[in-house]
Amino acid sequence: MNQTKHPAENLLYSPKSAWHNTGQNLMSDIFAFNEEYKSFLNQSKTERETAAQAASLAQNNGFVPITEAKQLQPGSRVIFNYRNKAVMLAVIGSEPIEQGCNIIGSHNDVPRLDLKPNPLYEKNDLALLKTHYYGGIKKYHWLGIPLALHGVICLKNGTSIPLIIGEDASDPVFTITDLLPHLAKDQMNKKMSEAIEGEGLNILVGGIPLKNENVTNPVKLAVLEKLNQQFGITEEDFTSAEFEAVPAWPARDVGLDRSMIGSYGQDDRVCVYTSLKAIMDVNVPRNTSVNIIMDKEEIGSSGNTGMAARTFENFMAELLDRLLSGYSELVLRRCLANSKALSADVTAGMDPNYENVLEKMNACKLGYGVALTKYTGTRGKVHANDAHAEFLGYIRKLFSDNNIPWQIGELGKVDQGGGGTIAYLMAVYGMDVVDCGVPLLGMHSPFEISSKVDVYAAYQAYKVFFSH
């Protein structure tokens, strides 16, 4: 039956799945892009590794360290790798920088388990490592799964030893044991938030004792001996090291149709990768393109590699110094205030298993394109950036005019919880900013799910944003 549409129905806003508009060529572009994205995820699981990979990708694409660039002109490409953790890139535009830049900011840190400064001990003839979790985790996620250790040890002689154990198929892995259900009567009666204690997240690392009955802690000593043989380190070296325990599995296709990617740490490396690829494609933009990949977002953007530090501002000052005949504080302020920004971060996708925590009319969906989030925050938008309607109008037109699949939503039902991104910290400078990223299922779990069409839409969206 062919029913005629009532003219009033044309007034409706009815978002559609982005998969509907994917012809064969676009489909192969989407799948090819996501293959590269998966290998990016597999090559960098920590903020340091992500920064290093971003920097090497940038340098292969003509970006030079800003410290080596004496003078900049339209088309110049520079990179600033701060403390091997925060990475900032720029492509100079043809318009005066005072008119503002187009800035995309993402973060490369991921919730994880960090080793404590004195981690190694022996108990009941087993050797273990003590951890302190980083960021918003559900502790039960970290039990009974294979873990890899990624880290760097900074020795007293000034050298640093990077170390990864557990990613190669021939490597051993580590784990935190879970309690057998047979003996979990007391534990099962506890509240979920109390069932697993932070001090219980200890990683199993060894079980063979030294063959000497006169020493105490022979298993711990045997582990130390192995570490010394392999890496030349002693127990004290843990005090100036950063070790992160992360899930030891790679990114995988999910679904019979392979429409999704499952991986650790897509929050926020999906936006890191897509924005990085977007700035690689920029030639000579009108307004200067700036891509910043910040650290420490998951713990409140604190520290000198986080967005709350003045590191980003310092980078912009260095840019201006090389671009103008003399550095001007006023020009820097004007440049920052006139800039437009996307806070490139993930949001919660509608999950059929947990739909009651989202409000259907305002929840983003997997497969519906890049997600705009006007506001985050908790309990009445507290601490939200809450982007202005004028800026959303600009972005909406930009994406629609360029056939970018996009959607808009909020992070969960009113009063259900909430969260934040670096948007409010970018807004400090006076620039307009809105959250714009990829919706995920199982965000902050060890296996977060994205839709390939959304990953590609984010890349397209960021590219279009840089070029206008």
Neighbouring C-beta atoms of residue 405, cutoff 10 Å: 25
Q: Does 345 bind Mn ion (CB under 5 A)?
A: yes
Comparison of 268 and 454: residue with beta carbon closer to Mn ion: 268
| Smallest separation, CB 298 to Mn ion (Å) | 5
State the Cα–Cα distance between residues 74 and 91, nearest whole angstrom: 8
Cα 371 → chain centroid: 16
Provide the b/e sequence for 116-147 (b: ≥16 CB within 10 Å).
eeebbebeeebbbbbbeebbebebebbeebeb
Comparison of 75 and 135: residue with beta carbon closer to Mn ion: 135
Comparison of 345 and 454: residue with beta carbon closer to Mn ion: 345
Prior bond to 268 cis, omega within 30?
yes
Neighbouring C-beta atoms of residue 61, cutoff 10 Å: 17
| Smallest separation, CB 109 to Mn ion (Å) | 9
Region near Mn ion per CB under 5 A, out of 241-249, 264-272, 279-287, 316-324:
264-272
State the Cα–Cα distance between residues 235 and 216, nearest whole angstrom: 15
Q: Which residue has the tokens 């995820």?
A: 41
Burial class of 426 by CB neighbour count within 10 A (0 to 12, 13 to 18, 19+): buried
Comparison of 51 and 282: residue with beta carbon closer to Mn ion: 51
**Of positions 267, 295, 318, 454, contacts Mn ion by CB under 5 A:** 267
Cα 209 → chain centroid: 40
Q: Which residue has the tokens 């050797």?
A: 127
| Smallest separation, CB 23 to Mn ion (Å) | 32
| Smallest separation, CB 345 to Mn ion (Å) | 4
Region near Mn ion per CB under 5 A, out of 150-158, 186-194, 268-276, 403-411:
268-276
Cα 249 → chain centroid: 17
Q: How far is CA 424 from CA 204, 369, 372, 387, 462, in A?
A: 40, 23, 15, 9, 19
Tokens of 439: 């919706």
| Smallest separation, CB 244 to Mn ion (Å) | 15
State the Cα–Cα distance between residues 383 and 420, nearest whole angstrom: 8
What length is written for the chain?
A: 468
Region near Mn ion per CB under 5 A, out of 71-79, 230-238, 258-266, 267-275:
267-275
Name the residue with the smallest CB distance to Mn ion.
268
Comparison of 200 and 300: residue with beta carbon closer to Mn ion: 300
Sheet with strand 406-409: strands edge to edge: 64-65, 77-82, 86-91, 289-294, 102-107, 340-343, 432-437, 370-373, 406-409
Q: Does 295 bind Mn ion (CB under 5 A)?
A: no
Region near Mn ion per CB under 5 A, out of 31-39, 245-253, 261-269, 284-292:
261-269
| Smallest separation, CB 383 to Mn ion (Å) | 15
| Smallest separation, CB 421 to Mn ion (Å) | 6
| Smallest separation, CB 107 to Mn ion (Å) | 6
| Smallest separation, CB 267 to Mn ion (Å) | 4
Region near Mn ion per CB under 5 A, out of 49-57, 202-210, 266-274, 402-410:
266-274
Comparison of 49 and 268: residue with beta carbon closer to Mn ion: 268
Comparison of 49 and 345: residue with beta carbon closer to Mn ion: 345
Q: Does 448 bind Mn ion (CB under 5 A)?
A: no
State the Cα–Cα distance between residues 176 and 141, nearest whole angstrom: 10
Comparison of 295 and 345: residue with beta carbon closer to Mn ion: 345
Comparison of 278 and 440: residue with beta carbon closer to Mn ion: 440
Comparison of 244 and 345: residue with beta carbon closer to Mn ion: 345
Tell which positions 178-207 bind Mn ion, by CB under 5 A.
none
State the Cα–Cα distance between residues 148 and 222, nearest whole angstrom: 20
Q: Residue 164: which residues within 8 A CB-CB, separation 6 or more?
A: 148, 149, 150, 151
Q: Does 109 bind Mn ion (CB under 5 A)?
A: no
Q: Does 268 bind Mn ion (CB under 5 A)?
A: yes
Number of residues this chain uses to bind Mn ion (CB under 5 A): 3
| Smallest separation, CB 444 to Mn ion (Å) | 6
| Smallest separation, CB 275 to Mn ion (Å) | 13
Region near Mn ion per CB under 5 A, out of 122-130, 152-160, 279-287, 344-352:
344-352
Comparison of 272 and 457: residue with beta carbon closer to Mn ion: 272
Residues that bind Mn ion (CB under 5 A): 267-268, 345
